[in-house]
Amino acid sequence: MGIGNALYQKHNAKWFQGKRVRTTTELSNGRIVIPKGSLLTIQGKSSGFLLHGKPCEHCGVKVIISKVEPWAVEFDEGEE
């Protein structure tokens, strides 16, 4: 289902910042693919969400993707 457009429009970036979300679909930006069900953290809101993943425990690589539509993620349990 994802985060509705009404909720996205109602709240500013500060309200969303730091909230954990789960992807409801596969996300891609031409360089990376983030699988459906991945956990990410909202870091900003401008023309969609700026999302950060946790660094890999093996190599330290951290996924960052921007301009993610609100319908493509949903709040992780207890975040709303």
Enumerate residues 6+ apart whose C-beta is below 8 A from 80.
none
pLDDT over threshold 70, residue 79 = no
pLDDT over threshold 70, residue 29 = yes
**Cβ–Cβ < 8 Å for 40, 32:** no
Quote the pTM value. Answer: 0.90
pLDDT for 42 equals 98
First to last CA, the chain: 14
Is 5-75 in CATH node 3.40.630? Answer: no
The domain spans of the chain are 5-75
